[in-house]
Amino acid sequence: MSDLEAFRLETREWLEANCPPGVRNRPGEVVWGGRRCQFPNEDAKIWLERMVEKGWTVPTWPKPYGGAGLNDEEAKVLRQEMARIEANAPLFSFGIAMLAPALMEFASEEQQLEHLPPIARGDFRWCQGYSEPGAGSDLASLRCRAVRDGDHYVVNGSKIWTSDADVSDWIFCLVRTDPDVPKHEGISFLLIDMETPGVSVTPIELISGASPFCQTFFDDVRVPAANLIGEENKGWTIAKRLLQHERAMLGETATRRGGANRKGLVEVARDALRAPDGPLPDAAVREEIAQFDMDRMCYGATFQRSADAARAGRGPGPETSMFKLYLSELNQRGADLRQRIVGADGLGWAGEGFDADELQITREWLYGRAATILGGTSEIQMNIIAKRVLGLPD
Amino acid sequence: MVLVLSEEQELLRDSARDFAGNAIEVDWLRKVREQGAAGFDRDVWRQMAELGWTAIPFAEEVGGLGLGYAEAGVVLEELGKALAVTPYLSSVVLGGGAVDLGGSAEQKAEILPGVCDGTTLLTLAYQETARHDPYAIETSAVKTDGQWVLNGRKQLVLDGGSADRIVVAARSSGAPGDRSGLTLFLVDAGAAGLDVKPGLLLDSRSAAHVALNDVTVGEDAVIGEVDGGAEILDRVFERAAVALSAEMLGGIQEAFDRTVEYLKEREQFGAKIGSFQGLKHRAARWFCEVELTRSIVMQALRAIDDGAENLAEIVSTCKARASDAFRLSGQEGIQMHGGMGVTDEADIGFFLKRARVSELLLGDSAFHRNQFAELKGY
């Protein structure tokens, strides 16, 4: 038996024994971690503890950082075995997906040992302080100011669209440390504990009625200078790299906060069209669903091709730059199609006449409009493709 | 299934790229057109056969290389970039595929070695309706005194004018539209009563109208089971749709690459037109379509070789995507080339022309969306 096969058997055995029923086949349930972590049930808490113990919340990370030091092949086996029993991921966070890869590349060893293990354990929940009211797509024009004062930076300004800032413990921030140089050259990357005096958070209500985004204010917030990642005024390099990780995350996952869609489009259409079997009687709806399914298949093949190339040591290829652009639009199209198919049943906002599923379809459709704006608008993604992949001139 | 080229496949691609880049010029399409005689470059075909490409998807016993569609696709993509006119699809994939999938051991031994070395040209006569409709076959096959008598008309018989033998799909029972009741027959190009009228298509390729007037063949001309022809046809069409998609991918990539280059060269308003966001964003969206097409073509080629369970779904997804992406590529290519794009002098127009023909061959995206929905049970 090869080592990998042995690993598979061990893994399977351990998962069978340790993965509780409450975290199996529960699509859409996400544990984000943090001081105020909310678990969907007791099993999810036990599951996280057990996986943290194994280092399997971040299986490929080195052990000192809270991982298990698995190689890519072993990590794939673990994913496959978890998928086999439909086990939910024990933990997902911006800390894992976005911040940690940047820390591994740019932070000092001391900083890595301070911040990575708590991310692996889900002790702290991180949010991203990038956009500002005056700096959206033009991110580098940010003005949130950090002024050095002895061993500290004093931060003043505000950040907007800080996802989940109201439930986060720490924020990784881009701040302006030099206002007198070209805009890309005066930015620094700073980690700020949200419990520091002077930090305040106001949720922003969206068109869907939900408030996943906040505005975060900094009023004379004193941050230890030890929390600066990389060199002062060299933060833009880190910022760009982190945006790549964000794009990768957004290209890999459907929007996690929408929850799992309970029914497939065909099932929704069968209900709405009162066509329990046979060809869907509305040819336009049928055609649109087919196109959507086929596009998803093509996207899946592209994602696989990229992963296969990376495993074969030939990636990542230019195709990765289209992931965020295409997937966000694809998901948006799916939510829009779903809402149109259900017709009058999808028009409800509140009240007893509509069931929870119907109301959620409406909210998801509205929330879905954010997908092509957050993490770099579709237009910014296209600028990036035009410049970096196609080499078109400025 | 791994969606990445193996080292052997990369070598094959490099050799095909060298060959297509040196031996084939898009300008050849103009010459063929001027001559008015439909056909292909026999010299190019002979060289391709010498390189072994015509033998790729056939078993070694019949003179093939025993490779798969993943390999054939690599070559077809490079040929597609050069808009090469060859009878690969008609002879190797359609005609050769029918014999390979449905023929008896004797038939294969007799016919396929010639297909493998490029000396025998086959084609498949299936289409009778304006739009692709695989079972809408009226051409009749009636058995009299141990002989089959064929009567009917076919169109869009690819390279029909140069084929040595034509595989004819005819109806031995049932009514047009029925899946059952179809039988495949091998008919010699010189058979009495066979009237082949070659025509030049808008992409400078050749396809024939074929009339069968009491064409008589023996029982040994039947490929596969009598009335069971659809079993073979379905699989031949799957292979052909994917092989064609691989060729289309080459055309898509080339039209895209040429246009992006043009955007970097052409100046208007004192700037390269590629600096205009109106064009950048369209180029970026087009790029996505190219990448998606590449992925599904790679998946479909390998799905054929692996005999994937959901092969038919993948095939329909592949041909639909390639059809739409190639149409887009032809249209955007011309639009972004501006006035030059609509002149005959510029090559980009040939990509639009090939896009239209290959889009409609073997089912366009509307056909395949319908197929896909049917396969999925909705």
User: Can you tell me the distance from the alpha carbon of A60 to that of B105, in angstroms, rounded to the nearest whole number?
Assistant: 54
List CB contacts (< 8 A) between A383 and chain B.
277, 280-281, 284
Q: Which residue in A has a C-alpha nearest to residue B293's C-alpha?
A: A298
pLDDT of amino acid A259: 44
pLDDT of amino acid A256: 41
pLDDT above 50: residue A255:
no
ipTM: 0.96
List CB contacts (< 8 A) between A308 and chain B.
2-4
- The mean predicted confidence, pLDDT, of chain A is 92
CB neighbour list of residue B278: distance below 8 Å, 6 or more residues apart: none
Q: Which residue in B has a C-alpha nearest to residue A388's C-alpha?
A: B284
Q: Are the CB atoms for A265 and A334 separated by under 8 Å? A: yes
Q: Are the CB atoms for A31 and A44 separated by under 8 Å? A: yes
Asked if B229 is an interface residue toward chain A (Cβ–Cβ < 8 A), one would say no
* Pick from B260, B285, B295: CB nearest A382: B285
- The mean predicted confidence, pLDDT, of chain B is 96
Q: Which residue in A has a C-alpha nearest to residue B3's C-alpha?
A: A305
For A383, the 3-state DSSP assignment is helix
Asked if B46 is an interface residue toward chain A (Cβ–Cβ < 8 A), one would say no
Q: What are A185's two structure tokens?
A: 């050259």
Cα distances (angstroms) measured from residue A126 to each of A123, A140, A234, A261: 10, 21, 22, 26
DSSP-assigned letter for residue B150? E
List CB contacts (< 8 A) between B2 and chain A.
308, 312
| Mutation site, A382, A383, A389, interface B, largest B CB count within 10 A | A382
Q: Which residues of A touch B (CB under 8 A)?
A: 266, 269-270, 279-280, 286-287, 289-291, 293-295, 297-299, 301-302, 304-305, 308-309, 312, 314, 318-319, 322, 325-326, 379, 381-383, 385-386, 389-394
User: Can you tell me the distance from the alpha carbon of B156 to that of B94, in angstroms, rounded to the nearest whole number?
Assistant: 13
For B111, the 3-state DSSP assignment is helix
Cα distances (angstroms) measured from residue A41 to each of B149, B195, B376: 74, 76, 36
CB neighbour list of residue A22: distance below 8 Å, 6 or more residues apart: A40, A41, A42, A43, A44, A47
**Segment holding A129, helix H or strand E:** strand A126-129
CB neighbour list of residue A67: distance below 8 Å, 6 or more residues apart: A55, A58, A59, A60, A61, A120
User: Can you tell me the distance from the alpha carbon of B333 to that of B256, in angstroms, rounded to the nearest whole number?
Assistant: 7
pLDDT above 80: residue A254:
no
Dump pLDDT digits (tens) for A231-247: 999 999 999 989 888 88
Q: What are A239's two structure tokens?
A: 């910022």
User: Can you tell me the distance from the alpha carbon of A49 to that of B7, in angstroms, rounded to the nearest whole number?
Assistant: 44
* Pick from A294, A326, A382: CB nearest B321: A294
Amino acid at B117: D
List CB contacts (< 8 A) between A381 and chain B.
284
The shortest C-alpha distance from A19 to chain B (Å) reads 29
Whether residues A390 and B296 touch (CB distance < 8 A) is answered with no
User: Can you tell me the distance from the alpha carbon of B44 to that of B20, in angstroms, rounded to the nearest whole number?
Assistant: 9
Catalytic residue among A74, A81, A132, A246: A246
pLDDT above 70: residue A338:
yes
> What do you get for the CA distance between the two ends of chain B, in Å?
28
The shortest C-alpha distance from B259 to chain A (Å) reads 11
Q: Tell me how many degrees the CA angle A334-A338-A340 measures, rounded to the nearest 5.
A: 120
pLDDT of amino acid A195: 97
List CB contacts (< 8 A) between A379 and chain B.
281
* Pick from A270, A293, A391: CB nearest B376: A293
Nearest partner of A188 among A129, A244, A125, judged by Cα: A129
**Segment holding A295, helix H or strand E:** helix A283-311
Biggest CA pair distance of chain A? 74
CB neighbour list of residue A348: distance below 8 Å, 6 or more residues apart: A354, A358, A359, A362
Q: Are the CB atoms for B168 and B188 separated by under 8 Å? A: no
User: Can you tell me the distance from the alpha carbon of B38 to that of A263, in angstroms, rounded to the nearest whole number?
Assistant: 54
Q: Which residue in B has a C-alpha nearest to residue A318's C-alpha?
A: B291
Q: Considering only A255-259, A348-352, B138-142, which range has the smallest mean pLDDT? A: A255-259
DSSP letter string, B311-350? HHHHHHHHHHHHHHHHHHHHHHHHHHTHHHHTSSSSTHHH
Asked if B284 is an interface residue toward chain A (Cβ–Cβ < 8 A), one would say yes
Residue ranges of alpha helices (H) inside chain B are 7-23, 28-35, 42-50, 69-81, 96-102, 105-116, 229-265, 277-306, 311-336, 338-341, 348-360, 365-375
Q: Are the CB atoms for A125 and A162 separated by under 8 Å? A: no
Q: Which residue in B has a C-alpha nearest to residue A292's C-alpha?
A: B369
For B39, the 3-state DSSP assignment is coil
User: Can you tell me the distance from the alpha carbon of A375 to that of A357, in angstroms, rounded to the nearest whole number?
Assistant: 28
Q: What are B84's two structure tokens?
A: 């090469």
Q: What are B200's two structure tokens?
A: 């030049």
Q: Which residue has the higher pLDDT, A256 or B278?
A: B278
Q: What are A139-142's contacts with CB under 8 Å, separation 24+? A: A139/A174, A139/A239, A140/A183, A140/A184, A140/A187, A140/A236, A141/A183, A142/A174, A142/A175, A142/A176, A142/A187
Whether residues B299 and A304 touch (CB distance < 8 A) is answered with yes
Q: Considering only A109-123, A257-271, B113-127, which range has the smallest mean pLDDT? A: A257-271
List CB contacts (< 8 A) between B263 and chain A.
392
Q: Are the CB atoms for B356 and B202 separated by under 8 Å? A: yes
Q: Which residue in B has a C-alpha nearest to residue A304's C-alpha?
A: B3
pLDDT of amino acid A250: 82
For B208, the 3-state DSSP assignment is strand
| Mutation site, B292, B298, B302, B332, interface A, largest A CB count within 10 A | B292
User: Can you tell me the distance from the alpha carbon of B191 to that of B185, in angstroms, rounded to the nearest whole number?
Assistant: 12
Whether residues A298 and B2 touch (CB distance < 8 A) is answered with no
pLDDT above 80: residue A317:
no
pLDDT above 90: residue B195:
yes
Cα distances (angstroms) measured from residue B81 to each of A161, B24, B93, B257: 46, 10, 19, 10
Whether residues B292 and A314 touch (CB distance < 8 A) is answered with no
Cβ burial of B294 (10 Å; 0-12, 13-18, 19+) is: buried
pLDDT of amino acid B39: 78
Cβ burial of A195 (10 Å; 0-12, 13-18, 19+) is: exposed
Phi, then psi, of B23 in degrees rounded to 5: -90, -15
> What do you get for the CA distance between the two ends of chain A, in Å?
56
Whether residues B295 and A305 touch (CB distance < 8 A) is answered with yes
Dump pLDDT digits (tens) for A77-109: 999 999 999 999 999 999 999 999 999 999 999
Dump pLDDT digits (tens) for B346-372: 999 999 999 999 999 999 999 999 999
User: Can you tell me the distance from the alpha carbon of A385 to that of B286, in angstroms, rounded to the nearest whole number?
Assistant: 11
Q: Are the CB atoms for A371 and A331 separated by under 8 Å? A: yes
Cα distances (angstroms) measured from residue B99 to each of A384, B166, B194, B196, B308: 49, 11, 20, 21, 22
Whether residues A295 and B280 touch (CB distance < 8 A) is answered with no
Residue A72: pLDDT band with limits 50, 70, 90: confident
Q: Considering only A76-85, A119-128, B117-126, which range has the smallest mean pLDDT? A: A76-85
Three-state secondary structure readout of B49-91: HHCCHHHCCCCHHHCCCCCCHHHHHHHHHHHHHCCCCCCHHHH
- The answer, yes or no, to whether the previous bond of A117 is cis (omega within 30 of 0) is no
Known catalytic residue at A246: yes
